[in-house]
Amino acid sequence: MLTVKAPAKLNLTLEVLRKRPDGYHEIKSVFQTLDLCDTLRLETGNSVTFQCDMPGWSAEKSLVTRAIDLLKKVTGCSRGVTVTIEKCLPLMYGLGGDSSDAAALLCGLNKFWKLELSIDKLQELAAQLGSDVSFFIRGGTALAEGRGEMLTPLPPLPKMWVVLVIPEIPGKPGKTGRMYAALKPGHFTDGRITDKLISALHNNDFNSSMLFNTFENIAFDSYSGLSDYKERLIKLGALQVHLAGSGPTLFTMFEGKSQAEDLYARCKSREMQAYLASTGFKRIPVRKPARIIWHS
């Protein structure tokens, strides 16, 4: 049996620069993995089968099925596998859980089936599934540009502690597209917010006041009740509350573990679905920083 972790992702910044002629949006964003993870267990099987402990999860609707199909097509491998997924990351809540599962499965099967594909090749395949999938092959801290498919490894974020709250707001398919469609030109920025954060990473001068997500301009109107969760978190001691990706997950970040633990405990005592995590997860060490561009 082989066990593989699939981490959550935060956008430390998420700037939308413009709408492109191809209908997509040009973004500039800093991605960061957390040590809050799904767990995938791979075991020998005669065919490809999936088991998952999350009610309503469907292999047919997940990127994991496409990941296996793509890997078999490219390598010609016909072996089977039984994949058991222990879900920690909620689906469609802005944490990248399905993309991360797909990336973890590509990496895991590369070892389990002894395919010996390079990390670069795995990242190329992942990009065919989605830009987030490509990021999760390595994890850590990275700049994402274009539609999110242009990735540049960055100096690691100093270890921070994160409290995440999952609101009782249903995650809906297609929400990210709807959020992009709701943005107005006044919500577009020029990338300098992200540039400032990147400079801080290079100079070891990061602080959580640099976080930014343009979807916060519309999320609290788009998600009914989300403002109430933000106000509750502030009353419980969160200094700043941010949206994770396209939402509706909210999070706040601390330098000290004890402060994060205190807020997490207060959230749990009020029966909020909360998680405590840190920024310590990285799948593949990057020895030389270089832009990585894969075209799907």
Catalytic residues: 9, 132
**Could you give the maximum distance between any two Cα atoms of the chain, in Å?**
56
DSSP string, 158-222: PP-EEEEEE-SS---TTHHHHHHHH--GGG---SHHHHHHHHHHHTT---GGG-EETTHHHHHHH
> Which residues lie across from 162 on neighbouring strands?
253, 277
12, 17, 204, 287 alpha-carbon torsion, rounded to 10°: 90
Q: Is residue 127 within 8 Å of residue 296, measured between CB atoms?
A: yes
What is the pairing mode between strands 141-146 and 212-213?
unpaired
- Residue 132 main-chain phi, psi, to 5 deg: -65, -35
Q: Judging by beta carbons within 10 Å of its beta carbon (0-12, 13-18, 19+), is residue 264 exposed, middle or buried?
A: buried
